[in-house]
Structure 1
Amino acid sequence: MASKKITVTRETKTGLNVGFNVPGQGSTPRSKLIPQVEAGKHVGYHTRTHPNGTKFVASNPDGSKKNNLG
């Protein structure tokens, strides 16, 4: 059975994903999701840090664009 995926619900004008729909949690801000992902609570996702220091959530690469965030 495929796990439900995290979806983006809100982004800034520059394209930074800041709101997410997390299965079992509902609407979740980026500031709350990042520590959960870093703690390994969401299989298939990781965090990245932009050169300007902004952390963001990304889906793990698997060759499919269909399941990417954003």
Structure 2
Amino acid sequence: MDEAQERAIIEDSIETVERTTGQPTQIKVTKGSLTAIPYSLEVNDHFGFFIYNMSPREYAESLIRQFDRLAD
């Protein structure tokens, strides 16, 4: 593989990651579409309850803080 081919592969990889992560993505389903919205592990319920040992109230407050940050 020469340098130009390697550059092309790297550029394609970067474009693919930018296009498919960090932004809402439409997914076609049988009846219409769904919007997949990426979120951080901090607001993942599994991590909140089982990794970070949050109470339900702490988890809810975490979700509210994340929403407020995104809404600004």
Taking structure 1 as the reference length, the TM-score comes to: 0.26
Bigger radius of gyration: 2
- Larger strand percent: 1
Return the structure number with greater relative CO, CA threshold 8 A, min gap 6.
1
- Larger helix percent: 2
Taking structure 2 as the reference length, the TM-score comes to: 0.26
